[in-house]
Amino acid sequence: MLQQVGEANLRRDAAGFYKELFSAPTSQHLIPKPEQWPPTFRRFEPLRVRAYADGFSLALFDGHMGEEGLYVVPSGMDNVPRAGPHAEFRKMSDGIYWYRFPQ
C-alpha cells in the first residue's frame, strides 16, 4: 500500500494536515476525526490516527501485544521519533517508520 500511495504523497499530505491541526496551541497529541484524514491516510484504512508534535501515527493493528502501524513525519520536518518504554520505531524510509506502542 505504501508503494501505491507514494511516500512523498503521504508525507506531503501529513505536512498540510499538521499545519491545519497545530495552528493553535494544543496538548501532547490530538485524535482527529476520520473525516478530517487526508485521502492518503484513508488508503491504509487505519483504526485511528493520532497527531503528535513530531508526526502522525496510523494505527493498523491493535491487539493484546499493543498497537502497531505507520508513523509519518510530515515533509519539511527532519524529526526522528524517539523510542522509549512506551514506543518502538523501525525506519522504513525517510520520514516513515513502523511503530509499536506496547500495552
Q: How confident is the model over 8-63, as pLDDT tens digits?
A: 999 999 999 988 887 766 667 789 999 999 999 999 999 999 999 889 999 999 99
CA distance 78 to 95: 7
In this prediction, residue 103 has a pLDDT band, given cuts at 50, 70 and 90, of confident
Name the phi and psi angles at 67, rounded to 5: -100, 140
Q: For the chain, how far is it from start to end, CA to CA, in angstroms?
A: 26
CA separation (Å) from 51 to 3, 4, 13, 92? 22, 23, 13, 19
Cβ–Cβ under 8 Å, residues 64 and 71: no
The answer, yes or no, to whether residue 79 has pLDDT greater than 90, is: no
Looking up cell 509499536, which residue turns up? 100
Would you state the pLDDT for residue 33? 95
Structural domains in the chain (count)? 1
